[in-house]
Amino acid sequence: MAKAEANMPVEIIGEFGTPGAEREWIVAECELAIKHLVKVCGEPPPEMRLEIEWQEHELGSYPTIVLMWEDGMRGAPENYLSRCEAALTGYENGGELPRGWFMPPVRSEDDEPNEPFDPDAPPPEPPETLNALEHQRHISKLIHWGFEASKREQSRPHLVERDKDPENES
C-alpha cells in the first residue's frame, strides 16, 4: 500500500492466500480472488476499489483483500461488503458456502432494510439499464416484495360464519 493511501478508509473483506507460499504466488491468488468477487458481486461502488493489503504481524505479514475509498466522510457499503465476504468464503471452499451461510440479496445502499412493507404498493419497477447488477438487484427486490406480500396473506384472519348453535334451537 502506498503512503498516499495510508489515510484512506479501508474495510477488510477477508484473509486470502496460501500460507508459506512465495509472495508472487500469493499476490496472483489474491488477484484471481478479486476477479471472482467482481464477477459474483459486481464492480465496487463508485470511487471505491478492491485491493490487496498486507497486514503486519509479529510472525510476518499476511495478505487481506480489502475495499478502500478516498472519501473519509462516506460510509462503508455494508451490503456490498457482506456479499463479498460470502463470495470470498465460497471461493475458498471450492464454490460452496459453509453450512448455514447464505449469499445476502443485492440491494442498493440507499434502500432502508427496515422500511415497513406497504401491501398496497405495486412491485418495484425494473431498471431501464441493461446492467446485470441492476437486474440482479431488481430480482432481489421482487423476491423480497413477494415474501412480504405472502406474509401479509398468511397473517390475515380467516372469517368463517358459524352454524346456528343446535342447543339454542329448541
Give the DSSP letter string of 125-155. PPPSS--HHHHHHHHHHHHHHHHHHHHHHHH
Q: Between 105 and 4, whose confidence is greater?
A: 105
Distance (Å, whole) CA 47 – CA 69:
6
**Boundaries of every domain in the chain:** 1-104, 105-156
118-150 pLDDT, tens digit each: 667 776 666 565 566 666 767 777 777 777 777
% residues pLDDT > 70 (the chain): 67
Task: Select from 33, 23, 11, 28 the least CA-distant residue to 82.
Answer: 11
Inform me whether the pLDDT recorded for 3 exceeds 50: no
Q: Who's near 113: CB < 8 A, 6+ residues apart?
A: 107
The residue-averaged pLDDT of 103-132 equals 63
Inter-CA distances, 52 with 48, 70, 101, 153, Å: 13, 16, 24, 48
**Can you give the pTM of this predicted structure?**
0.59
Q: How many other C-beta atoms are found inside a 10 Å radius of the C-beta of residue 157?
A: 5
Residue matched to cell numbers 434502500? 111
Grid coordinates 465496487 are at which residue? 44
Of 2.60.40, 3.30.300, 3.30.70, 3.90.1070, the CATH number of 1-104 is 3.30.300
Residues linked to residue 41 through DSSP beta bridges, in sequence order? none
Cα–Cα dist 57/70, whole Å: 25
Residue 147 pLDDT: 74
